[in-house]
Structure 1
């Protein structure tokens, strides 16, 4: 289940270990992550995006093909587009990529250092952070049909009484469905529950 305060605390630890920034994709499903964080220099991030490097990045290819950790200097994946050379030219000459989780829900982290290779101890620390983030961001397996129906009615802008009538239940029963949905998604409000359900691709 997602716990944003704990996630933020772990990201602060990554800030310390990766002085030149990091890129983090949690629970990559259907070719897109459920959550993504990026602190690389803005010039590199913009250059990377403009050149469509995400589809050609050897660090991502490596992370999707295996789990573990690898320094960029030892990546066994071909780099025909010279992305790692471009990264070095933008102040990211040293780095490491780490991958964790099943292929159906993989989490990948890349960390950068502008001055030196990461030590074994630092890589172990990043690996531990990645595993914790992966677990914290784990979405629920699914919602019941009743919970999905209730959220869809809210997403369409219907009021409780109107939504309940369309579902053929009482308004109090409809509200009970929303309460159970909020609990399931660990959300404080229905709006937050709807947002998380969409982020988790549960609707």
Structure 2
């Protein structure tokens, strides 16, 4: 599990390397990412999401079928909706797609700039960061019994004080268990932890 500071540093490096933004889906399983981070122009992200472009994006198709990295200009796949052309009109003129990990838990990222193509050195640096983030954000195969019980009680609607009393522990101890579950599941809120745990059938 990557620490939050390490995550922030890695994402800051990606922001430096992608001045027009990026979209990074870590551990995509069943068409849903364990962690999704987007810094593209919000107007482009809104259009992309509303029109369901992920299902037709040639760079995403490339990412599911290939390992490594390729410049957008070198992706030789159909683009019937002219997604890459529309992206250019929002300043995403030059880009890179990176794919890593097994098909069952894939990480795919798109990175953009508006001034020039990515250099080989920049591509190597982005690939290295993406691979590190993929390994560090591996979804857990299980939670501890203490974490599971704490999440279950909150999921059933118990307040912190009630859940702590049922477990025979202090409220601060309960909060510590919930915090450790959030960290393990790579989320920021308990509600997200419950949802993620249910998605991975950990509860």
- Same fold per TM (> 0.5)? yes
Q: Does 1:130 align with 2:127?
A: no
Against the structure 1 CA distance between its residues 158 and 73, is the aligned structure 2 distance closer, same or farther, given a 3 Å change threshold?
Answer: same
Q: Which structure has the bigger radius of gyration?
A: 1
Does the 8 A contact of 1:160 with 1:171 survive in 2?
no
Root mean square deviation, CA, Å: 2.9
Q: Distance in 1 between matches of 2:108 and 2:83?
A: 17
TM superposition shift of 1:37: 1.1
Does the 8 A contact of 2:95 with 2:112 survive in 1?
yes
Against the structure 1 CA distance between its residues 171 and 134, is the aligned structure 2 distance closer, same or farther, given a 3 Å change threshold?
Answer: same
TM-score normalised to structure 1 length: 0.82
Against the structure 1 CA distance between its residues 7 and 163, is the aligned structure 2 distance closer, same or farther, given a 3 Å change threshold?
Answer: closer
Structure 2 residue matching 1:26: 3-state secondary structure? strand
Does the 8 A contact of 1:147 with 1:178 survive in 2?
no
TM superposition shift of 1:100: 0.8
Structure 1 residue matching 2:76: 3-state secondary structure? coil
Q: Does 1:199 align with 2:196?
A: yes
Structure 2 residue matching 1:111: 3-state secondary structure? strand
Q: Distance in 2 between matches of 1:181 and 1:163?
A: 11
Does the 8 A contact of 1:186 with 1:193 survive in 2?
no
TM-score normalised to structure 2 length: 0.82
User: How many residue pairs end up in the alignment?
Assistant: 197
Q: Distance in 2 between matches of 1:54 and 1:108?
A: 12
TM superposition shift of 1:185: 5.6
User: Please, which runs of 5 or more residues in structure 1 have no aligned partner?
Assistant: none
Summarize the alignment of residues 35-54 of structure 1 with structure 2, pairs less than 5 Å apart.
35-54=35-54
Does the 8 A contact of 2:147 with 2:181 survive in 1?
no
TM superposition shift of 1:82: 1.1
Against the structure 1 CA distance between its residues 164 and 14, is the aligned structure 2 distance closer, same or farther, given a 3 Å change threshold?
Answer: closer
Against the structure 1 CA distance between its residues 155 and 2, is the aligned structure 2 distance closer, same or farther, given a 3 Å change threshold?
Answer: farther
Does the 8 A contact of 1:3 with 1:137 survive in 2?
no
